[in-house]
Chain A
Amino acid sequence: MSKIQATFERLQSQGRKALIPFITAGDPDPALTVPLMHTLVEAGADIIELGVPFSDPMADGPTIQRASERALAKGVSLRQVLGMVASFRADDNVTPVVLMGYANPIEAMGLDIFAEAAFDAGVDGVLVVDYPPEEGEAFAQAMNANALDPIFLLAPTSTPERIARVGELASGYVYYVSLKGVTGSAALDVASVAARIPELRAATGVPVGVGFGIRDAATAGAVAACADAVVVGSRIIEEIERSTPDTVCTRVKTLVADLRAGVDAGSCGTPPA
C-alpha cells in the first residue's frame, strides 16, 4: 500500500480529513525548504505538495509564479528538489510528499530516469499540471512502475467520460480544482464543490482533494466537511512572502495550524457558519 493510501485510510478510521499544504521548493531559499516541510508536518499537514519551479507556470496565478521565480533565481533544479525530499526523509519517513509541477523539467531529465530518482528520494506521488489524461499514459506507467502515485486534476467542467478516464490512470488521490481559473483566484463556492464530490469519489475510486481558492480556516473546514482532503497553496506562499528568513517557519506554522483546526472542525461534521 502506498504511503498516500495509508494516510487516507488512517485518517478515515479517525474520522478526519487530510490537510495538504503546498510550498514551492527553493522558495524563499533552498536552505529553508526542508525546515519548512518539517514545520508543515508539525503544524498538522498530512501530505505535503512540493512545487517544482518552472519558468513558464501557465496554470498558476501570480503568487505561485513569483514563488517559482524566486526559486529559479536561486538556481533550483528538479534534481535539487529531489535532494530536498531525500534530506526531508532523513527525519520523516512517514509523511507523504507529492511533487507538483510541469512536464518540461521532467521530460528534460527523462521520464523513466525521473521516476526512478523520485522513488529513490522518497517521493510518493507526482502531479504534472500539463499532463491531462490524453497525454498522461506514459507518465502514469512510469509512475506505476516505480511505486509512485500519479495524481491528476479534475475540474468543474470535466465530463463523466474524462472523470472515468482519470479514474483509470490515477492512484493516491485526485485533485479537484474548485474554480475556473488559475491558482490563487477568488474564493470558491463551497456548495457547488460539495455537490460534485460524491460523484468524483465514486467514479475515480480514490479520495478527492479540493484546492484553488481556499484561503482561511472557515473555508478549509467547509471543504473538509465534504471532501477527503483540503489543499492550500497560494495563501501559504503569501505568508512566506510576508516573512523574513527568521520568521518564516513560525508564521507558516501559525497559519497551517489554524487551517488544521479549521479542517478538523469541518470534518467533525460541524462546518463553521
Chain B
Amino acid sequence: MSDIPYALPDAAGHFGQYGGIFVAETLIPALDELRLAYDEARCDPAFIAEFEYELKHYVGRPSPIYHARRLSDELGGAQIYLKREDLNHTGAHKVNNCIGQAMLARRMGKKRVIAETGAGQHGVASATVAARYGMECVVYMGSEDVRRQAANVYRMKLLGASVVPVESGSKTLKDALNEAMRDWVTNISSTFYIIGTVAGPHPYPMMVRDFQTVIGKEAIVQMPELCGRQPDAVIACVGGGSNAMGIFHPYIGYDEVRLIGVEAAGDGIASGRHAASLTAGRPGVLHGNRTYLLQDANGQIIETHSVSAGLDYPGVGPEHAWLKDTGRAEYATIDDAEALAAFHRLCLTEGIIPALESSHALAHAMKIAPTMGKDKVLLVNLSGRGDKDMHTVAEKSGIQF
C-alpha cells in the first residue's frame, strides 16, 4: 500500500522516546482490551469495508481538492491547493476518526461512549456518531469552553449527548481530558473513550492516525489528477495533530514532499501566551504519553492560548514529536493576527469560510507562497469550516450579533 520508511509505533506504543503507556495500573486492562480489539479490526476486511462505506455515504468522502486560483494569483507565487475536509459531514476531519472508533466500540459491545472536547468539534462529531450507532454519549468540556462555545453545546444536546462541564484546573480541554479519563477508569466495562486526537496512551496515537490517513491517501491519488504531480509541500495545522498526521503519514515515504506542521503562536511565542508545544515546549509526560509539552520549570503544565480553541492544547501527538526530532517534518508557527488575516482573505478571495484552526495552515502557505515560483505547489489541509468561529471572529472585529 505505502512505502512508509518506518513501522512505528513499536509494540509498546513508542515512537523513539515518545508515546508509550503512561497511565495508572487501573487503566491498563482497558487499553489492553482496546489494543487487542483494534489489532483484530484493522485486519478484518469486513470492518475496513464498512468504514469505507460510512466514509463515502455518511461523511461524503472523498473530500475534493480545490485549486485556490484567485488567492494564488494574488499572492503571485506557488499554487495553493486546499484539501476540503471542511466539506465533510459535521464540518471537519474529526468525524473520520469518530466513525472508526464508534464502529470499534460497537464491535467491542460497548453501549456508552465518552469524549473530551475543547471547542466542541470533536464533541459534536462524537455525539453525531453516537446518534448514528444508537449509543449513549457523554461529552466532557471545560466550563470555560462551555461558556465560550454555547452553539456547539446546544448542537451536542440536539444530537442526544449529555455535556458535562468540568470545573477543575484551568477549566479547558486538558481538564476535560483528565475528567474523561476518570470516567473511563470508573466505568471500564461499559464505556468506550473516543479520544479526538493523535495523543493519549497507546494505541490511541496510532489508531487515530490510521483512521485519519484517509485524508492523505486520497490526496496522493487526487493531486496527480489535478496538477500532474505531488505537491512540493503539505501544510497542516497542529494542536494535538490529528488532521496533520492524517495528511502527512501517507506522504512520509515521498522524500521530495516537505511536510510542514503549523502551531498556534497565540499572542506571539515571546509573549508566552501561545500553544506551540513543539516549537517552545520540552519533552515530558502528560495524558498517557511522552511528548513535547508546554510546562514550567517545575514540570507543571501551563495554560495555553490561541484564538483557535482547537489548537489550544499544551501537548501534541507523540508521532509529531518524533517527526520533528528526525527532521522529516518541520514545524512553524502562526499567531492569532496572521490566522485571522488568512481567515478573512480566504472568505473574500475564494468564498470559503475556513475554521480558525485551518486558517493557521493557510496563513503559513500564504506566507511562503510568494517566495516560491509559480510552478510550485502547496497543498493545505483545510481541516474544517469556520461556521463555529463566527462569534470569535465577530468579537475580534468588534461586532455584536
Contacts and interface: CB of A to CB of B under 8 A. Distances in A.
Contacts of B20: 134-135
Interface residues on A, range: 35 or more
Contacts of A159: 29
Contact of A57 (B25, B28, B178, B302): B178
Contacts of A109: 298-299
A141 interface: no
Contacts of B27: 59
Nearest to B170: A55
B146 to A, nearest CB: 18
Nearest to B26: A155
Given A153-B24, A155-B28, A59 B301 contact: no
A209 B282 CA distance: 35
Interface in B339-386: none
Contacts of B301: 55-56, 104
A147 interface: no
B12 A134 contact: yes
Interface residues on B, range: 35 or more
Nearest to B28: A132
Contacts, number: 122
B300 A58 contact: no
A244 interface: no
A223 to B, nearest CB: 18
A56 B25 contact: no
The B interface is mostly helix, strand or loop, or mixed, namely mixed
B29 A107 contact: no
A153 B181 contact: no
B195 interface: no
A104 B295 CA distance: 9
A132 B21 contact: yes
Contacts of A206: none
A74 interface: no
A65 B168 CA distance: 8
Contact of A56 (B12, B29, B287): B287
Nearest to A77: B298
Nearest 6 pairs of A and B residues by beta carbon = A108-B299, A105-B299, A59-B24, A77-B298, A103-B285, A157-B29
